[in-house]
Amino acid sequence: MLASHITTKQLLQKASLDLPTSGPDFVEYLERIVSDTKLPSERASSHDVRVLTPEEAHGTTADLVLLVGMDVDSWSMKLPKVPWLDAPTKLKLGMLHTDSVVRKGRHHLNHLLHAGSTVVVFDSTMEEGGGPAAPLAEWLAEAKRSGTSLTHQGAPDFLPEDAVIGSDPRRAWQYDSSETNRQWLTPRPFTMHVEEGTVRGVRSGHRGRDERQRTGLNLRTNHTLTSEVNAIHGLAMAFETRILNDRLQRQPSFTDLENGEYFPWASRAHLVSTDALSLDPTENQAGIGTRSQPEWPHLGLRKNGNSNGVSIDPRPLPPTNLTAGVLPDVLGVQSPGVHREVWSASRIQPWLTCPRQAWVTGHLRAEGDEDETEDIDHRTRGQIIHDAEAALLGAHGVPIGGMAHQSTGPFHLGSNPTPRQGWDVILTHLEQHVPWLVRNDAIATHRCRDLLGVNPESWRAHLEGDHLLAPAGRLWRLVLADYELEHASPLACEWPVAEANGSSIEIDASDDEGQPAPFRIRGNIDRVDEVILSKEMNQKAVEANLLSPEPQGGPVDLRDPKSSGPAHRWVIIRDLKTVNGPKPGEGGERHLKALFNEVQLGLYARAWELAHPGDRVIGVGVMEVGETSTHYVEIDPEIEPYLQGLSLGETTKVSRDQFRFVDDLAYESNGFRAWMYQRLQTARRAVDTAGSGHIHPVPSSSCSFCKVRSICPSSILGGDVR
């Protein structure tokens, strides 16, 4: 490698190019040198030691001759094959000498047995399928028959007696005990000993590898070490799985509770995995109200043996409480922290799932090789849906990726008032930006049917003007869902989470003690809508001091929006997600996951309020685009009475029954605002975990999809393998 480096450096200097000295360029430079450098394949040679075949050794003499590798596989007695000549033809031509190879072998063996003052014969008779070749087998049989073999037993002179006989467990030789009154020398690589009623294995030999294996065996059996370990961290890593598995088996669970009993928040410190918690609840689980529990937050309610209530998100789980030493380093309890001036929802979420995964993939930027699939990447498919929605909103007058616009009105009152006109906008977008849909390959055929409900031939015919394409497919269902929002006026699409001057937004989050702990974020909100009220309901909201036609001076208060005065606008934050299905009865589960498992909606909702003083977020939700497309929205219970009869999407009301503020002992606080507060608090906890250097593993079902599971010993405790 040094020679390759010098040569490369000289070539770069001649080309007036700089040699990389740090960063990714230097890593790539080293990888290129390693891949292009080949080690010489020459075998080591010596004048004192020669390794020869029996035929090559003919005529050679030596002080010591070792007859090794003279078994039937290594020293073949088969005749060489002559192409196109069978045995009868060889016999006719006088070429069939079946015993010539064996006779040559006898001659070479007889020479070797007399070629040195000391000759050691390795007998492989006891090996299965690897007995000695015919000449050696004949000689051994004759020696045993005549009794001359007894003169060959014993150890050679160069082996000291204590290397064969004695109590030293490291001795590599012993006499074979299968035959009584015989002293046939045999290797002794591994032996079993009984000490104080305990059986232990001992590795023999004086090589470095033998000593390392003895050290490992002594460590496993808690015996005194005869040498130092090579790497203490590697040794500790071997126990990571055992330690976590032991904790996993002993961690508290719902089975320890009685029906109607709550899982206490204090048990969070003893959890290793969150698989047992309800962080991705079903609709039935989300309907079990648990905010009236005096001890709040909690980890869920055990309703009965088969059902549990929603768990308030305890992630990231705290690391294993270990004393100082090497184990905390291996388990990620002590490491340099990850400090970022600006975070994003996509960077925070992995720290909630598994700090080790977040550190390796997000900070070290390491990941496994991507598997090739027969379909387009799921991110590409999702981007097509997002871009189609952006095209539809752009045609409605909504700015894409820019500052929020004034109210544009619902779709049915805009420049494309019918779903069919919106469909035409989508088709024009696909024609301009997704040209590969016209191909005849399997991917284009499948995606054409999925997105448009037709095959590529029909799509090409539409582009050529032969016929109009009938509305169908996933994108048509997207259009219909958008046009059903008759009281939602789009304000922004792909809005960058930033202040008016372009700087990131500081989120006014709190830590677990309730103390202010702000942090800054960036991102993009898929869609923001303004709620359009009827004149009657608008007047009632104004009279209730919830709305005002005049803009307000500052952002609404996070805990109590009414204390900041009336809002100028009520808005809804939406996130678009492509889903498979959903199957019957599973609609809305992706929306519930966004509410209870992810922090993105909570962060974006508060970011919008901080960037737009006077705006109050009264709803958040996910638009599930699949076999059916539905806008789901979680509604603020304080605002819900004013939204009766409005078409804002399919509303859910799970936050009001699950969340409250810790100091609200009367259980009267706004559940939606408490949900937002808790999501910010969870995100702050993830930021603190990253900053404190806690990069411990959290085995869970997500290990099945982890990009670095191949290098994580704890991944065997989670995922499909578990």
Query: Which three-class secondary structure string do you get for 528-575?
Result: EEEECCCHHHHHHHHHCCCECCCCCCCCCCCCCHHHHCCECEEEEEEE
684 within domain boundaries: yes
216 within domain boundaries: yes
Same domain, 594 and 655: yes
31 within domain boundaries: no
- DSSP one-letter code for 509: -
Q: Which residue, 241, 195, 235, 196, is CA-closest to 219?
A: 235
- DSSP one-letter code for 371: P
Number of domains in the chain: 5
Same domain, 509 and 649: yes
Sequence-separated (6 or more) residues with CB below 8 Å from residue 623: 481, 526, 527, 574, 575, 576, 577, 629, 630, 631, 632, 649
Return the pLDDT at 589. Answer: 94
Same domain, 78 and 201: no
Same domain, 584 and 626: yes
How far out from the chain centre does Cα 692 lie? 22
Q: What is the distance between the terminal CA atoms of the chain, rounded to a whole angstrom?
A: 43
25 within domain boundaries: no
Same domain, 121 and 213: no
Q: Which residue, 149, 143, 130, is CA-closest to 68?
A: 130
Length of the chain: 722
Same domain, 355 and 294: no
CB contact burial 376-386 (16+ within 10 A = b; e otherwise):
eeeeebeebbb
Report residue 120: phi and psi, to 5°: -115, 120
pLDDT digits (tens, 9 = 90+) for 635-645: 999 999 999 99
pTM beyond 0.85: no
| Six-digit token string for 625 | 């685009």
Same domain, 245 and 259: yes
614 within domain boundaries: yes
Sequence-separated (6 or more) residues with CB below 8 Å from residue 612: 404, 555, 569, 571
Residues of the chain by 3-state class (helix, strand, coil), percent to 5: 40, 15, 45
Using left for φ > 0, alpha for ψ between -120 and 50, and beta otherwise, residue 241 falls in: alpha
13 within domain boundaries: no
Same domain, 501 and 621: yes
Return the pLDDT at 573. Answer: 98
- For tokens 């009475």, the residue is 641
Q: Count the neighbouring beta carbons within 10 Å of the beta carbon of residue 309.
A: 25
| Six-digit token string for 251 | 């961690």
Same domain, 175 and 277: no
The amino acid at residue 229 is V
Tell me the C-alpha distance between 461 and 469, whole Å: 9
Query: Which three-class secondary structure string do you get for 423-485?
Result: HHHHHHHHHHHCHHHHCCCHHHHHHHHHHHCCCHHHHHHHHCCCCCCCCCHHHHHHHHHHHCC
| Six-digit token string for 564 | 């900041």
Sequence-separated (6 or more) residues with CB below 8 Å from residue 320: 243, 244, 247, 272, 328, 331, 333, 696
Angle between helices 600-611 and 589-596 (to 10 degrees): 70
Sequence-separated (6 or more) residues with CB below 8 Å from residue 17: none
Report residue 307: phi and psi, to 5°: -140, 140
* Beta carbons of 417 and 411 less than 8 angstroms apart: yes
Give the chain's residues under pLDDT 50: 721-722
Same domain, 515 and 642: yes
5 within domain boundaries: no
Same domain, 627 and 562: yes
Three-state DSSP at 85 gives: coil
Range of the domain at 604: 340-367+402-410+486-691
Same domain, 176 and 77: no
Domain boundary among 484, 506, 541: 484
Domain boundary among 457, 484, 511: 484
Return the pLDDT at 721. Answer: 44
Tell me the C-alpha distance between 362 and 690, whole Å: 11
| Six-digit token string for 527 | 């869609």
For residue 510, the cross-strand partners are: 516
615 within domain boundaries: yes
Q: Is the dihedral of CA 174, 180, 184, 188 positive or negative?
A: negative
Tell me the C-alpha distance between 63 and 251, whole Å: 68
